[in-house]
Structure 1
Amino acid sequence: MRTPPNERVGSDIAENADSPVSGSERRCLLSGEVGPRDQMIRLAVSPAGEVLPDPAGKAPGRGAWIMPDRAALETAIADGHFKRALMRAFKGGPAKGDGAGGSLSYSDDLPQAIEMALTRNLLDRLGLELRGGNIVLGSSRIAEQARSGRITLLLHASDSSEDGRKKLDQAWRVGLDAEGSGLRGTVLPLDRDALSVALGRENVVHLGVSGVKDGRDDASRASIRVGQAATRLSRFVGSDPP
């Protein structure tokens, strides 16, 4: 398949070649909207022409980008817009979703596959940050470190109690000198069972991302990494983003 003239850095395709897009930005395959690549979802195309989710954005080969919006993707697949957008972007034959012939293919359950990939990406990131010493678990420890300003990102399981969230949110605001701001932790679209399994701990209901490790202030990077993964998943499934 010939390389499209509008292909950009990293073999990622922007649908409109007339509008400049920076190396840190990508154009949504469906809407044409431009956004930061770390807030979008990459769809990689395998050598066999199969369109697959690539939440880490590191799979080899060509790819396309979409905004994290499951409802929009499902609509685009149902009305044929997704297939047409793939045809335009890759300058190839018709995608063969729904069984039609062509050089590209995608599964009918692509939206579910993307949600599962984004979920795994977030859980893997939390596991990495836990091993790196950047995750704080346990309500009392989180509250203590939050009040001292050492928590840079506060996360709650979807089935956490409102009372538990309020107490930790308040401690977090105190530590950030943000009382009266209404700042609250993020309620993830994942329950305590999913978080507990991913982190290898019992009853993970709340977790904080800490900003200090061995005297080095590297938690801003940790909270950005976790926050980006959580935001994309939350936006894709339609819950409130962090």
Structure 2
Amino acid sequence: MVPDLKRRLPGRGVWVEARAGSVGAAVAKKVFARGFKAESRVSADLAAEVEALLERSALDMLSLANKAGRVVTGFGKVETALDRNEAALVLHAGDAAEDGKRKLAQAARRGTGGGEVRVLSLFSSRQLDLALGRENVVHAALLADPVSDAFIARALQLARYRDGDTGQPAETDQE
């Protein structure tokens, strides 16, 4: 049994809600064997494997957006992109300081005139470093572009899978 995240593999499939809890429950209840009407071997870690695949897909697309020149990193550059209303999304590393997040949320409110910029904290600083080919990435912004939209779609899919959180707009991020 293989996860078909792109929904393109041939043959019969079993659909499970794309949330870690649902996949874990389906494995525990042996839903796949019932769905295939045959004995099936399913990894006990299927939920974690799917999460890793979704995470890899999102990070690969972030790397592609970076190569296209649609990612800025560093507090100052992210703040400038927000002030100019150029950012489509702000990424904070999981270990980013709350003070930095708060200041960037204020910059987003200034730049958008009170509008919304989606904010996500899905990845560690190390993961961002590797995806972007830089060291010590704590804050990053994606500039509006179709490749940025593709990353955002994958990142939101990962966020929904993990816990249903699709990120708070900077306007309501009051932490």
* Structure 2 counterpart of 1:82: 32
Which has the higher relative contact order, 1 or 2, with Cα contacts under 8 A spaced 6 or more apart?
A: 2
Structure 2 match to 1:52: 2
Aligned to 1:227: 152
Whole-angstrom distance in 1 between the partners of 2:120 and 2:107? 14
Q: Which has the higher helix share?
A: 2
Q: Is the 8 A contact 1:157 1:191 kept in 2?
A: yes
**Aligned-pair distance for 1:152?**
1.1
Larger Rg: 1
Identify unmatched segments of 5+ residues in structure 1: 1-50, 88-92, 98-105, 212-218
Write the distance in 1 (CA, Å) between the matches of 2:75 and 2:134.
14
Q: Is the 8 A contact 2:88 2:141 kept in 1?
A: yes
Percentage of identical aligned residues: 31
Whether the 8 Å contact between 2:73 and 2:139 is mirrored in structure 1 is: yes
User: What is the TM-score with the length of structure 1 in the denominator?
Assistant: 0.63
Provide the alpha-carbon RMSD of the alignment: 2.1
- Match 2:52 to one of 116, 121, 126: 116
Correspondence for 2:80: 144
- Cα distance, 1:206–1:95 mapped onto 2, change above 3 Å: farther
Question: Separation in 1 of the partners of 2:68 and 2:9?
Answer: 27
Q: Is the 2:92–2:139 Cα contact (8 Å) retained in structure 1?
A: yes
Pairing partner for 1:72 from 22, 30, 33: 22
SS in 2 for 1:76: helix
Q: Taking structure 1 as reference, are residues 114 and 163 closer, same or farther at Cα in structure 2, changes over 3 Å only?
A: same
Secondary structure of the corresponding residue to residue 104 of structure 2:
helix
Identify the residue that residue 170 of structure 2 maps to in structure 1: none
Displacement of 1:79 in angstroms is 1.4
Contact map agreement 1:156 1:185 (CA 8 A) in 2: yes
- How many pairs were matched up? 166
TM-score, normalised by the number of residues in structure 2: 0.84
Q: Write the mapping of 1:138-217 to structure 2, written as runs, cut at 5 A.
A: 138-178=74-114, 185-188=119-122, 190-211=123-144
Does residue 236 of the first structure (1) align with residue 161 of the second (2)? yes
Cα distance between partner residues in 1 of 2:12 and 2:110 = 44
- List runs of 5+ in structure 2 lacking aligned partners: 168-175
2:26 touches 2:32 (CA, 8 Å); kept in 1?
yes
